[in-house]
Amino acid sequence: MIIAVDGPTASGKGTIAKALARHFGLPHLDTGLLYRAVGAQVVANGGNPDDPADALAACDFPDGLLDDPELRSEHSGGLASRVSIHPGVRQALFERQREFATQPGGAVLDGRDIGTVIAPEADVKLFITASVQARAMRRWLEMQGREIDIPLMDIEKEIAARDMRDINRADAPLRAAEGAHVLDTSKLDKDQSIAAALEAVNAATGQSPCP
């Protein structure tokens, strides 16, 4: 079974995808980390994330970079959004994601174009969303927990800017895939969001929920 979980930054899609993977015993891939690694590698190379050639060269990043906690920062997220607009970068990372999605037994992938590009044949497609304000507050609380002091307003602006880039990019824009179940988590906590997603998967696959 392939489960595609798409949505904008800080919508809760990563948390939901991990929970679904645990529940169904499937491997999970956070595809956004790949783009964050490319963005970080561009900077490490002294390149420009807005330059297609620099971004493509950074796709040859070492696997160990994926374990760098700095990739979870808001700064890295912004870099990821900038390099992801380049078709060459998306093509370079396509096969890596596609191979993961089609492995025997299935998988759970979360990102922004899983249900539309990477695995359009996915058995279940979820699109997780939330208001900019709700997503900014979640990210702000996360940063506070990591003792990173950043104004909430700055996070709101960055999230809004990322949304604009992701929705309007020419290649694989952020949008709900055809037939996707749209889940708005703006007013849901973590457990409620996971429960709603699990209910949607069970409904889509005809499975009965666990007692």
What are 40-67's pLDDT values in tens digits? 999 999 999 999 999 999 999 998 999 9
DSSP letters, 99-116, are: HHHTSTT-EEEEESSIII
Mean pLDDT of the 18-47 span: 96
Tell me the domain boundaries of the chain. Answer: 2-203
| Contact indicator for 88, 56 with CB cutoff of 8 Å | yes
pTM for the structure as a whole: 0.85
Mean pLDDT of the 77-87 span: 90
For the domain made up of 2-203, give the CATH fold: Rossmann fold (3.40.50)
Interhelix angle 74-83/31-44, rounded to 10 degrees, is: 90
Which of 50-54, 165-169, 190-194 has the weakest average pLDDT?
165-169
What are 65-77's pLDDT values in tens digits? 999 999 988 789 8
